[in-house]
Amino acid sequence: MGENSNTLEHGLSDQLLQKFQQEVKDASELLTFAIAQGRTIEDDIVFEIKKAEDFLLKDELPPAIDRTKFENSYRDLSQALKLITITSLRDTSDEYGRKVFLLARKTFSEGKIWSRKLWLITICFAVVAFLGDYLQTIVNHPFFTVDYETGRSVFGFGLVTWQVFAGGLKAIVPFTYGGLGSCAYLLRICHKRVHERIFDRNRMPEYYSRILLGVISGGAIMLFIDPTEQSAVKISAAALAFLTGYNTDFLFTTIERAAGALFPKGTAAEGQPEVAMPVTTTPLSLKKLLERYEKASPEEKKVIEGLINKFKERM
* pLDDT tens digits for range 232-285: 445 666 777 777 777 776 666 766 766 666 665 544 444 444 434 334 434 455
**31 close to 82: Cβ distance less than 8 angstroms:** no
Do 65 and 133 lie in one domain? The reply is no
Q: In this structure, are 52 and 139 located in the same domain? A: no
Residue 60 banded pLDDT, cuts 50, 70, 90: confident
Check residue 264 and report its DSSP letter.
P
How many whole angstroms separate alpha carbon 164 and alpha carbon 161? 5
In a domain, 308, yes or no: no
- pLDDT attached to residue 50: 92
Q: Domain total for the chain?
A: 2
Q: Both 246 and 131 in a single domain?
A: yes
Mean pLDDT value of segment 36-43: 91
**149/260 same-domain check:** yes
Q: Which residues have a Cβ under 8 Å from the Cβ of 138 and sit 6 or more positions away?
A: 144
Tell me the per-residue pLDDT of 69-103, one tens digit each, with 9 for 90 and over: 999 999 999 999 988 999 999 999 998 888 877 65
Residues 134 and 174 placed together within one structural domain of the fold: yes
Owning domain of residue 25: 12-82
Kindly state whether residue 245 falls inside one of the protein's structural domains.
yes
Do 129 and 248 have their domain in common? yes
Mean pLDDT, residues 217-221 taken together: 82
Same domain, 66 and 112: no
Report if residue 4 sits inside a domain.
Answer: no
Beta-bridge partner residues of 108: 98
Question: Which pLDDT score, from 0 to 100, does residue 76 have?
Answer: 94
Residue 163 in domain: yes
**Are 158 and 151 within 8 A, CB to CB?**
yes
Residues 114 and 215 in one domain: yes
Helix (H) or strand (E) holding 108: strand 103-108
**Residue 169 domain-assigned?**
yes
